[in-house]
Amino acid sequence: MMLFRPVRENDLDDIIRLASRAGVGMTSLPNDPARLAARIQRSVDTFAGRLPRGQQGFLFVLEDTDLSRAVGVSAIEVAVGLDEPFYNFRLQRTVRASKELGVYKNQELLNLSYDHTGHSELCTLFLDPEYQKNRNGLFLSKARFLFIAAFRELFSPHLFAELRGRSDEQGNSPFWDALGHHFFDIPFADADRLTGTGMKTFIAELMPAYPIYVSLLPENARQAIGEVHANTSPARAILEKEGFSWRGSVDIFDAGPVLEAQTDSIRAVGESQFIPAMRVMAQRAAPIIVANNQFEGFRAVLLTPEENHQCERAALDALEVSETDRVHAVTLNPESRTSWQ
């Protein structure tokens, strides 16, 4: 069974293994044991209520219960930019005109912005390639929405996700090579490593503060703006189907898109129901994510119509609930509906 739950300190070895497979550009999952241990501890402290809002971040794992091993991670930052600035480039359009010459020229500019200060962020989504099947990726990403729905007061009205931008198999980013490289004279992989060790603000402060004219960048860098890494395309599709959209913000290093949505308008948040478990078990015409209503003991599982009574019983045990307990539930896919929705 695949179980979605909060990370624990003894998951560190599994998280290190996942980070080693994530590759360049996964800045919130650095291949650094000390930083990963600190990230796990921050999540534990967040659940325990020991951190101020600006430092709070929830880290979850997808556990293969048969092997007692974490095979995927995903996270939510509660409020970015409160302790240190959170930078993005905002893509904007302007018109330069000469009435005398009859020339009107549309230009795109990249402006350094802090638009997402105080907003909640979806991040750190990574699934072991061996488990990228059986709807595991969808489940790992969307189970976070049930946690947000269950504890809505913890999160901001606006939610965003900064996705990994385009880079090649060697980890080279065309956008970084065209822009950031000229200010730091280091490879993108090194800049990415520094970001993963908590130095993003320091690097961002050395970026140009004035608008960047997109037309002055090389063609391959222009094409990379708002595009995602090949491995990130499924994650983008998942979020867009839930109501997220790209509104012009991009990562300052690789120009990956920042997808945004009003939290309450996200499909899996707005359509989730808090109902007795027996109703969910009795009406499963489509795959359904089911979660308990515990905070530190939050658990979620994916139920499919094909599963038998024995599987249902195992799911309830994994959630630590009975048939009469109320659970949070939502269909896995936007196009699916059940009679309790």
Nearest to 50 by CA among 58, 42, 60, 40: 42
User: Could you give the CA distance from residue 153 to residue 5 in angstroms, rounded to a whole number?
Assistant: 20
- Is 68 within 8 Å of 61 (Cβ atoms)? no
Q: What tokens does 171 get? A: 């980890």
Please give the radius of gyration of the chain, using alpha carbons only, rounded to the nearest integer. 21
> How far is Cα 198 from Cα 146, in angstroms, rounded to an integer?
29
Provide the 8-state DSSP code for 211: P
Q: What is d(CA 179, CA 185) in angstroms, rounded to the nearest whole number?
A: 10
Placement of tokens 């534990």 in the chain: 44
Closest CA to 332 of 139, 131, 76: 139
Whether 328 sits among the annotated catalytic residues: the reply is no
Q: CA–CA separation, 337 vs 283, rounded Å?
A: 10
Active-site entry in 116, 158, 182, 229: 229
Report the candidate in 229, 230, 219 with the shortest Cα–Cα distance to residue 251: 229
Q: Which two tokens stand for residue 156?
A: 């901001």
Phi, psi (rounded to 5 degrees) for 202: -60, -45
Tokens 């991009």 sit on residue: 250
Q: Cα-Cα-Cα-Cα dihedral of 25, 20, 41, 124, to 10°?
A: 40
Element (H, E) at 193: helix 188-194
Burial of 256 (0-12, 13-18, 19+ CB in 10 A): buried
> Rounded to a whole number, what is the distance in angstroms from the first to the last CA of the chain?
26
Catalytic residue positions?
229
